[in-house]
Chain A
Amino acid sequence: MIFLWAFIVGGIICVCGQLLMDGLKLTPAHTMATLVVVGAILDGIGVYERLIDFAGAGATVPITSFGNQLVHGALAEADRTGLIGVVTGIFQITSAGISAAIIFSFLAALVFRPKG
């Protein structure tokens, strides 16, 4: 069942992105930035966590979860150490995604040749 909801919720988030690109004629970069901020706000008001419980990877795979994780790390650390935790905790959870993207991209640049 979680597979079906992952498919539907993930698909809907992608449709939102497509509507931003086609309907409002935003560039992909603007669309991604908008979605990340929306994800951050949704986690700030406590909605995104429930969406993850409900849809699993349907909510964690789209880029909105990046905003969600940034806020999540910041708030968790703020709970422990106060205001300074907002700054120290922001990348705590997203670290896996950012590090993996940097490392694998660099290795790809070593191995693959540019086309054309």
Chain B
Amino acid sequence: MEEKQTKESMEKEAYQKVASRLEPKRPIFLNCLKAFFVGGFICVIGQCISLFYLSFFNFSEATVGAPTVATLIFISVLLTGFGVYDKLSQFSGAGTAVPVTGFANSMASTAIEYKTEGYVLGVGGNMFKLAGSVIVFGTVAAFVIGVIYTIATQQWGGM
């Protein structure tokens, strides 16, 4: 029995070695360059949109973030629907995934993909399949930081 296990683990090790040797080398520098330019470009578009809202609508520097993000999300969902965003994200990796447009893309693409399973179980149930982790971890982290802040500043309020 023991002998069999050691043999199995040896086989696994050998497999790992072969797998890591055959795995294509990731061109990290090139990927980073692409991510930098595409990500930076998306942020410049965001800056243009917020400048537009600042100059034509009644928003201040502090409140302009919300309409800017909503507009970017709208554009991203539209591009996802036409299949453009997925092609772009294959090229740029994190450059399209890290901006908030990537968050919207992950939601819209799962929503469209699961349409065939129905609106309630498919679209409604799977929309947050990828984006859910962002919301869960963001909320938990914000809660912990908020509680630490409240304890540190002794602002218990009604509690």
Give the B-binding residues of A (Cβ under 8 A): 2-3, 6-23, 28-33, 35-37, 39-41, 43-44, 56-58, 60-67, 69-71, 73-75, 78-87, 89-91, 93, 95-98, 100-102, 104-109, 111-115
Contact = CB atoms under 8 A, between A and B. Distances in A.
16 contacts: A3-B48, A6-B46, A22-B28, A32-B134, A37-B138, A44-B148, A57-B44, A61-B68, A61-B101, A74-B142, A78-B155, A82-B155, A104-B74, A104-B108, A105-B77, A106-B111
A89 B147 CA distance: 12
A97 to B, nearest CB: 5
A61 B102 CA distance: 10
Contacts of B77: 101, 104-105, 107-108
B39 to A, nearest CB: 3
Contacts of B159: 82-84
A15 B157 CA distance: 42
Contacts of A113: 112, 115
Nearest to A28: B97
A23 B60 CA distance: 39
Given A22-B32, A105-B111, 15 more contacts: A3-B47, A10-B43, A11-B37, A14-B35, A17-B94, A36-B141, A37-B138, A57-B46, A81-B157, A83-B156, A86-B147, A93-B65, A100-B104, A105-B77, A114-B115
Interface of B: 26, 28, 31-32, 35-44, 46-50, 65-70, 72-74, 77-78, 80-83, 93-95, 97-104, 107-108, 111-116, 119, 123, 127, 130-131, 133-139, 141-143, 145-150, 155-159
B44 A6 contact: yes
A95 to B, nearest CB: 8
Contacts, number: 283
A7 B73 contact: no
Say what secondary structure dominates the interface of chain B: helix
Say what secondary structure dominates the interface of chain A: helix
A115 to B, nearest CB: 6
Contacts of B108: 101, 104-105, 108-109
A61 B139 contact: no
A53 B116 CA distance: 45
A39 B69 CA distance: 16
Contacts of A39: 138
A113 B156 CA distance: 51
A57 B82 CA distance: 25
A34 to B, nearest CB: 8
A56 B47 contact: yes
